A and B are shown apart, each in its own frame.
Chain A
Amino acid sequence: DIQMTQSPSSLSASVGDRVTITCRASQRIVSFLNWYQQKPGKAPNLLIYAASTLQSGVPSRFSGSGSGTDFTLTISSLQPEDFATYYCQQSYSIPITFGQGTRLEIK
Chain B
Amino acid sequence: QVHLVESGGGLVKPGGSLRLSCSASGFTFSDYYMTWIRQAPGKGLEWVSYISNSGGETNYADSMKGRFTISRDNAKNSLFLEMNSLRADDTAIYYCARHLTTGAGAWLDSWGQGTLVTVSS
Contacts and interface: CB of A to CB of B under 8 A. Distances in A.
A2 B22 CA distance: 28
Interface in B43-100: 44-47, 50, 59, 61-62, 95, 100
Interface residues of A, number: 28
Nearest to A99: B44
A46 B106 contact: no
Interface in A59-107: 87, 89, 91-92, 94-101
Contacts of A99: 44
A95 B45 contact: no
Classify chain B: how many residues form its interface, as a range. Answer: 20 to 34
A46 B105 contact: no
A11 interface: no
B107 interface: yes
7 contacts: A31-B105, A34-B105, A43-B114, A44-B45, A89-B108, A96-B106, A101-B44
B47 A96 contact: yes
Interface string A34-57: 101010001111100110010100
Interface of A: 30-34, 36, 38, 42-46, 49-50, 53, 55, 87, 89, 91-92, 94-101
B45 A98 contact: yes
A43 B113 contact: yes
A95 B44 contact: no
Contacts of B104: 31-32, 49-50, 53
B105 A33 contact: yes
B32 interface: no
